[in-house]
Copies of this chain bind each other. A is one copy, B any other.
Amino acid sequence: MTKTRSPRKTPGASLAAVIDAGRLFHSRGWVPATAGNFSIRVDEKTLAVTTSGRHKGELTVDDFMRVDLQGRALDKNKRSSAETLLHCQLYRHAKDIGAVLHTHSPASTVLSRKHDSIRLEGYELLKIFEGIQTHEMAVEVPVFQNDQDIARMSRVVDAQMKTGRARHAYLIRGHGLYAWGRTVSEARHRVEALEFLFECELSESVLKATGDQS
């Protein structure tokens, strides 16, 4: 397993990559209905984020709009994702974050309703995250309470991240996964890896719960 290395893309190329990522996620059932939302950093002060109410598996370039790092709309006549502030929090938190992808799979939904945190350990795939060089290290994915007041939730997440939690990704209870990367490619690979690992953890939960000693 090797960390993703991709050349820097233009915003247009990045949006195309986000649209492709949405199609992949849709084929997996990870962006049902209008769930999920995606964004990229356009420049120091500007983000492009998916607009509200669009199916994330069927995006076009018109389904994005620009906002600033406080989430204020820079394009008229468009409404950004209801969860824009969660994206902004991440870009302000770490300057090297270039893309944020929020997916919504059955496995992440079920696990987030059962646990306060998901500890992933012993998986080769974990090497996709910074600071993880071996399969013997662990990645902790915290689960934050869902909240319709997104501004408030973004402050909770920010406070937690300042203490060192959610270094790599986080879950919102009953609401899905937030993952990110320096590029769309890196963010998308992390979503693939985490959704894969959540599926493994769900299978292992069933085997453990049934007392399987085989």
Q: Which residues of A contact B (CB under 8 A)?
A: 1-5, 27-29, 32-35, 52-53, 55, 81-82, 104, 106-107, 109-110, 113-115, 122-125, 128, 133-135, 146, 148, 172-176, 189-190, 192-193, 195-196, 199-200, 202-214
Chain B, Cβ-Cβ closest to A82: B2
A123, B135: Cβ atoms under 8 Å?
Answer: no
A196, B148: Cβ atoms under 8 Å?
Answer: no
A-B contacts, 21 listed (Cβ < 8 Å): A1-B35, A1-B82, A2-B34, A2-B81, A2-B82, A3-B53, A4-B33, A32-B125, A32-B189, A32-B192, A32-B195, A33-B128, A106-B199, A106-B203, A110-B200, A122-B146, A122-B173, A123-B174, A135-B148, A206-B207, A209-B213
Instruction: Give the 4 A-B residue pairs with the shortest CB-CB distance, closest first.
Output: A209-B212, A209-B210, A33-B189, A124-B175
Specify which of B2, B109, B122, B209 is in contact with A211 (CB 8 Å cutoff): B209
For the complex, give the distance between the alpha carbons of A135 and B193 in Å.
27
For the complex, give the distance between the alpha carbons of A115 and B122 in Å.
14
When distances are taken between beta carbons in the complex, the residues of chain B under 8 Å from A27 are 27
When distances are taken between beta carbons in the complex, the residues of chain B under 8 Å from A207 are 110, 114, 205-206, 209
Specify which of B34, B192, B196, B208 is in contact with A214 (CB 8 Å cutoff): B208
A53, B146: Cβ atoms under 8 Å?
Answer: no
Specify which of B106, B124, B134, B190 is in contact with A172 (CB 8 Å cutoff): B124
- For A81, A113, A125, A146, the residue with the greatest tally of chain B CB atoms inside 10 Å of its CB is A125
A176, B209: Cβ atoms under 8 Å?
Answer: no
A151 smallest CB distance to B (angstroms): 15
B203, A110: Cβ atoms under 8 Å?
Answer: yes
Specify which of B81, B124, B212 is in contact with A176 (CB 8 Å cutoff): B124
When distances are taken between beta carbons in the complex, the residues of chain B under 8 Å from A176 are 124
